[in-house]
Amino acid sequence: MEKATDILRADHRQVLKKLTKLEKLLNAPELDKRAQYEVIDISQFFNNEAKLHFYQEEEILFPLMKSVPNATAGPVSVMSLEHEEFYRYNERLQSLAEKLTAGNDVADFSDQLKKTGHAVISLLREHIDKEDNILFAMAENFLGEEALVDMAVKMRAVEASSEADGQTVVLDLRPMPPVERHPLIFSTFDDMVIGKQVKIVNDHDPRPLHYQFEAERQGTYNWRTADEGPEKWVAYIKKIA
């Protein structure tokens, strides 16, 4: 059965993919328009999926770790402090991403963007390594499978409740013929009121769809990639205008 540590490690794999992509973008000689969209997408991921992941740890995993010898004063304390450090860096990153979204000249703040981005990359890579190899190992050794399975159920419930607010339309495209997918997505998006979003679940990278949205609906949406395969790809498209 699925355990809490399975969910959290899977989240970590997605975060590491985002960090690799962000590092490549920040190290490029120029951050062109397409690269700026990628940075905005990654920043939205950090502001949603990563923060949800931290919430699940802080509210579900960490309290149970109090029963594990030396965990609270050691790994849990360190992880909690690093969560707070991430929140501070993320606040700066979101501010810079907002400038990109507004169309401000990236040359005016590229140094600040690179400094903040690399700080996030360094922090999260080290944080993930500690959690995967120390904290989660302690949880698996001391809490037992039943407790970890129970936590997994609670984590999935948190994920479901975050989408059960009437603001998200879920489209699982995988059973549909490819020719029908884009028309359905655009018609669903166009029929929504501002503030609602479409969650698409796909069997391949929806990058061409993202480019089509930028060509045909520029300025009316926010795009956020949540899962990049290989089993499935998940993206959120929020209507903003």
Model confidence pLDDT, tens digit, residues 89-141: 999 999 999 999 888 999 999 999 999 999 999 999 999 999 999 999 999 99
Residue 166 has pLDDT above 80, yes or no: no
Q: Which fold has domain 165-239?
A: Translation Initiation Factor IF3 (3.30.110)
Length of the chain: 241
Ranges for all domains in the chain classified under CATH 3.30.110.40:
165-239
Is the separation of the CB atoms in 224 and 45 below 8 Å?
Answer: yes
Predicted local confidence at residue 158, as pLDDT: 82
Predicted local confidence at residue 143, as pLDDT: 92
Q: Domain 4-161 is in which class? A: mainly alpha
> Which residue, among 53, 80, 55, has the nearest Cα to 66 in the 3D structure?
80
Ranges for all domains in the chain classified under CATH 1.20.120.520:
4-161
Residue 79 has pLDDT above 70, yes or no: yes
Is the separation of the CB atoms in 241 and 209 below 8 Å?
Answer: no
> Does the predicted TM-score (pTM) go above 0.75?
yes
Is the separation of the CB atoms in 232 and 203 below 8 Å?
Answer: yes
Predicted local confidence at residue 165, as pLDDT: 65
Question: In the predicted model, what is the mean pLDDT of the chain?
Answer: 91
List pLDDT tens digits, range 56-73. 999 999 998 888 777 666
- Category of 144 on φ-ψ map: left (φ > 0), alpha (ψ -120 to 50) or beta: left
